[in-house]
Structure formats: structure tokens, C-alpha cells
Structure 1
């Protein structure tokens, strides 16, 4: 039976969701077909145009019409952050599965409410931490679980972009806490946390510092300047529940960096490293054999790293950002059809977002913050 998709939002991420759900069955074959039921954009003309472009049967400018539509089984939420909570709660109450972009909400209290509502409803939920679906990343997790690098003792990660580096860039909703929530942490740092936790386990405590680099930005109408309320950069030293240590750094004002999401895991027998800008490669060093033959080796992802082979039968042909979204969408469709639960779901995402809010709290109070890890 086909799954009726209702999409709220038509920006870059809305398009990514539409493409992913449109491609999932063609790529994997083992997922139910998707019926593009209805699309919502706040501007009626855009809603109609994008419904036609993306192949949806209906268009609306009222998101509640998506939630209430009996032809919709799954609601995809790709709107600005401040709208996620109300939309997701309404969809769950209406009995719909929910695929929500990250972060769950702009406050930790709202994220907790969303996770509790999802658990109570017993419906499939999925949050758009798509980088953890990369075959290279999941292979890294298997290598760690198999003990290839020994016991993990240190995680070092950083995620940098330059989309807010220009001080003359106009002020937008992303600078306002009541609309965006956290800044670089909510946009970028949460992705790094999702990867750190997947590889190393839960984070138990941390100390941190943040800064606002550009205190004000010009208003687009030329009437003056407005304050930037959330952080441009953040750094944290974390302690995992396992006892391992780590560092997490993020910036949205790093000139020249476009999607520099990099990490290393140091173990007692070796090291793994990864760079998102070279997302089809994983680098491994193992302290084994004669010293003269040792060195880092690059593992190029291919059919031996599922589900790469569902897209292409040969290594070196490369997967991309949109393919990770297709893997993500397929996991949701399998869950709706009675397959394995989706990950990361609302409960998983709450744990990630508790970390970024703890970084913000630690920066404000100047003390170590302890997190709930179970």
C-alpha cells in the first residue's frame, strides 16, 4: 500500500525530501511506494508551483490542511526551526508519522515535549541527521564495534561553514533566539554531536565557551542594525559516559569553509578519521605489523559498505548529500511498513540537542554541566 506524503516547506530541504521520497523505492525496491499527496508553502502561488515541480497532487498554504488530510500518512516538516514543535505535535495527534528536520525545536523543553508525544503516540518519527546514514560513517561504527582500533579514548570533531562570516550580511531570523534557537550549535554543531554520540556513546558532562563574533547585522530595508542573539562559534571539552574524552568545535563564520564536518576517533590500537567534504572516504590507521609498512590507508566506499551498492555497483563513483536523504527516507518508509524502527528518532534527537543546550548553558555559567545519559 502506498504511503501518502505531505510536505511542509519548499526550500532547499523541502526539495531534498521530495527528491528522496520520490527516489527511495527506485533505489531500494524493498520500501512501499510513495504517493505525493499534498505540499504546503505559506505563499499560495509558490505552493502551486512547487507542487507541480515536485509532483504533488495537491497544494495548500495552510499547513494544518496537510496534517488533517486523510490521504496523508507521513508528514515531512522542513520549515524554519520555530515552527517544528507545533507542526509535529499536531501531526502526531492526527495519527501521522513525522519526518522532521533538525533541530527538533528551538528550546529543550519543546524538544522534550515532542519526544514524549512521539513515544505516547507509538508512531514512527525521524529527524534529519542525515550524515549518520553515510555508508562510510556506518562502516566506521562497525570498525569501532569490532575493536579494529582498540578501545576508543578520544573524539576530536569540528564543523565549520562561512555562511555568516560576512559582517555586512543582512540580519535574518537565524540571528533571533525566539525564531532560530541556538546559532552555530543549532545549525551545525548538532550534526557533529549526532556523529560523536553514534561512535562513542552518550556524553556525560562538558565544559564550554561560545562567542558572538558579529554583534549586530544590517536590516535588509536599510533602517538600521539589529542584534545577533545566538552564537557564531562554540567549543566544548566533553567526557563520554565510557570515560573517553572529546572536543567539539563549530563555527558559522569560518571564511572559506563550506561544509567542513570532520572528526577523528583515537583508539588504543589505531585511529579513524573522516571529512564530510570527502564523504566517500574513510581513513584508517592500525598499529599492526612492521613499523616500516605502517601508515594511514584510505578506504573508498563501494558496494562492500551497504547501502552504497543500492545506488551504484562500483566504488569510486561517489554518493552525495541527496543520496543520504534517500537512505534516510527509505528507513522511514520501512518503519511505516512494519520494519525496523527509524534512527535517529525524536528520542535520539532529544539526546543530541540536550548536548548543544548544555554547551550553551556551560558557556553562560562557566561551570561543568552534567547530562542525563540514560
Structure 2
């Protein structure tokens, strides 16, 4: 396959993860199409030029429209604030580009649906940044469940907590504004938990939820006063899955001491599995086997036997990291573009995840159970 040109819009936290992933994906995986870091976009132009040099991109621009229409670009990575995704993605699709967009797709389900429909109509490949489900520990848990290791699934309990908004003195940012961020903790964190719940148990049929804004205002960074926090800091939901299992989902961006506690446990008729992203290379399996005195949790440490760990390291216990999951995600996208199976999660998949977080918000506002 011919070389694919990468165009990156945005150089913040997620922009850097995309650059690192594309910069190393062929060296790590080997079986992906050749790529070229063609064009990077940020503002002002001087910043774009500095970051292009740092990230290894051939050229820089401060005009994202020029990037999506550049003939040297085949794949557009969109890593900008949430409210910019919709316009940029639709323009990239109209230009015939494959699109790798960070979550959430957009601020509303209507906009996200438009993006998914446009991609389907254009026949381009899409990928959305739910990279936690690319963890070899997670995919191993899926295989254990498929093999019947814990029997039939009856209950799922998950939570995703961070403390980046726990301090009331933390300055107000765009993440607190509905017009820029959309949902709060749900859009930033909760959707990741939903993607895992889907991968472990399957679709969610209905839920009943509640949410709260812990800190109603935050100080402006320039010290001129306070601004209103328009979206939620915490949210919780009781859910019913299509398979008949029940469960609970909880998320908070105001949980002191939690840095990335994206954790869950799934209970079956023969045992259970536990996972915590803060210890992302470990999986705990309990099986109801043998006498009570010999039963206990087995710690499964990720290693070469859990693909694609071996592509990074031949030895167990050396551990993968967050950016490695991004490499796995980028590799799966490139393979899909080359024709080796569908991309996952694509825009249609992400839309299903995001239907759930919007249902949580709707249920909390209405005080009733909501069907999805």
C-alpha cells in the first residue's frame, strides 16, 4: 500500500499522544501501511512550527481548513476542544479523508449522528479515541468471558474518578462551559467507562441516573471574578443491559486522590473479574472452583501471551503505558484503512457509547428511567 500522509490538528495532551503513536506505530507493529507525518496545525503559526519540529511533522500551518484539503494528507487527526470536532470532521470527510477523532464525537447526539452518517456515505474509515479498550488486559478479560471462565454475566459495577476538578480554587476553563465542552465528567470520563461496559457486557437498554455540580462557580484565571460551572462534576446510574444483567456506573472529576481510577468488576455465575486502570497491567480473576479454603483471586500480569503486548516487549511484567494503548489504537486504524477488517471503535460505535452518557444526563434532569 502507498504511504499515508498524517495531518494532525491540535498539539495539546491528546495531540501529543497521536503524534507519538503515529511516530512509533510502524516500528512497534511492523504490519501497518507506511505513513508520513505530513502536516500539523495549531495557532499561532509560530507555535505550529515549533511543535511540528518537535513532533517530526514535515510542515506546519495555522489553518485547519488548509490541512484537511491538502493533497498530501490522507488521515486527519482531530484532537481539538470538543466544540470544534463537528465542523472539522465534516470538512475532512467532505475532502475524502479518513478521520481519527478524539472523544466525545461532538456536543450533541444530533451532531454526532450527522458525523457518523457523513462518514458512512463517503465510505471513509473512522476511529474514535477510546484507547482504554485496546489494553491487552482488557481484551484478555473479554476472551476469558467468551470462554466461559466466570459463567453467565449477572452484574457489572464500574467507576471512573479523577481529582482534576476537586479543588474549588482550580481556575475555570472551557471544560465548564456547555457550549464548548458539552457534558462535564460524563463527556470527559464517563464515556470511557461506558466503552468498557459495552465491551464486557454489551449494549445498555435503559438506566436511571442522578448527577451534581460540586463546585457551582470557579475563579477566572485572570483574577477578575468567578464564572459559573454549567455541567456536572459527578454522575451515577443504575443500568440494565440487553443481555439481562444489571449494573451501576459512576463518574467524578472531583474525587480527591484519584488520578485515573477507571475501574470495574464483572460478576458471573461462576466467578468474577476485576480491573483498575491505575494498575493497567493487572487483571484479577476469581473462579468458584475447589474447596472454600483454596479459593481466592488470581492475579494475571499482562505479558507477551496477551496480544499485542509482545510487539512492545518480549518479557512479562515490564508493563505497558497509556501511550502504548494509543499505538495499538493507531495500528488498528491503519490496518482498517489497508483493508484488514473494520475499524473499532468507529463513529457508529462511539455514537452508541455517547447515547448512554446523554441518557444519564436526561434521566438525571427528568428524574425518571430512560430507554436507550
Smaller-chain TM-score bracket:
over 0.9
Aligned residue for 2:245?
A: 244
Aligned residue for 2:367?
A: 366
User: Aligned equivalents of 1:340 and 1:15: distance in 2?
Assistant: 27
Q: Do residues 103 (structure 1) and 113 (structure 2) align? A: no
Secondary structure, in 3 states, of the residue corresponding to 2:304?
A: coil
User: Aligned equivalents of 2:123 and 2:290: distance in 1?
Assistant: 51
Q: Judge which range, 219-228 or 274-283, deviates more.
A: 219-228
Aligned residue for 1:26?
A: 27
Shift of 1:290: 2.2
Secondary structure, in 3 states, of the residue corresponding to 1:363?
A: helix
Shift of 1:335: 1.1
* TM-score after normalising by structure 2: 0.99
Deviations 1:351-373 (A, max 9, x none): 000000000000000000001xx
The runs of 5 or more residues in structure 1 that have no matched partner are none
Secondary structure, in 3 states, of the residue corresponding to 1:103?
A: coil
Shift of 1:42: 1.9
**Counterparts of 1:131-146 in structure 2 under 5 Å?**
131-146=132-147
Aligned residue for 1:43?
A: 44
Shift of 1:173: 0.5
Q: Do residues 53 (structure 1) and 25 (structure 2) align? A: no
Q: Judge which range, 263-272 or 108-117, deviates more.
A: 108-117
Shift of 1:291: 2.1
User: Aligned equivalents of 2:306 and 2:330: distance in 1?
Assistant: 19
User: Aligned equivalents of 1:114 and 1:204: distance in 2?
Assistant: 23
Q: Do residues 195 (structure 1) and 196 (structure 2) align? A: yes
User: Aligned equivalents of 2:10 and 2:360: distance in 1?
Assistant: 29
Secondary structure, in 3 states, of the residue corresponding to 1:247?
A: strand
**Counterparts of 1:252-263 in structure 2 under 5 Å?**
252-263=253-264
Deviations 1:185-218 (A, max 9, x none): 0000000000001110100000000000000111
Shift of 1:84: 0.6
User: Aligned equivalents of 2:339 and 2:155: distance in 1?
Assistant: 38
**Counterparts of 1:347-362 in structure 2 under 5 Å?**
347-362=348-363
Aligned residue for 1:224?
A: 225
- Segments ≥4 residues shifted beyond 6 Å: none
Aligned residue for 2:283?
A: 282
User: Aligned equivalents of 1:198 and 1:49: distance in 2?
Assistant: 39
Q: Do residues 185 (structure 1) and 186 (structure 2) align? A: yes
User: Aligned equivalents of 2:221 and 2:26: distance in 1?
Assistant: 43
Aligned residue for 2:316?
A: 315
Q: Do residues 162 (structure 1) and 168 (structure 2) align? A: no
How many pairs does the alignment contain?
Answer: 371
Deviations 1:28-87 (A, max 9, x none): 110011101000002111100000011111100010111000000000000000001111
User: Aligned equivalents of 1:103 and 1:335: distance in 2?
Assistant: 21
Aligned residue for 2:78?
A: 77
Deviations 1:295-338 (A, max 9, x none): 00100011110000110001000000000000000011111111
Aligned residue for 1:335?
A: 336
Deviations 1:239-259 (A, max 9, x none): 001110010000000011100
User: Aligned equivalents of 2:266 and 2:119: distance in 1?
Assistant: 33
User: Aligned equivalents of 1:314 and 1:219: distance in 2?
Assistant: 49
User: Aligned equivalents of 1:57 and 1:304: distance in 2?
Assistant: 37
User: Aligned equivalents of 2:123 and 2:152: distance in 1?
Assistant: 36
Q: What root-mean-square deviation, in Å, do the aligned CA atoms of Structure 1 and Structure 2 show?
A: 0.6
User: Aligned equivalents of 1:267 and 1:306: distance in 2?
Assistant: 24
Shift of 1:224: 1.4
Secondary structure, in 3 states, of the residue corresponding to 1:126?
A: strand
Aligned residue for 1:147?
A: 148
The runs of 5 or more residues in structure 2 that have no matched partner are none
Aligned residue for 2:265?
A: 264
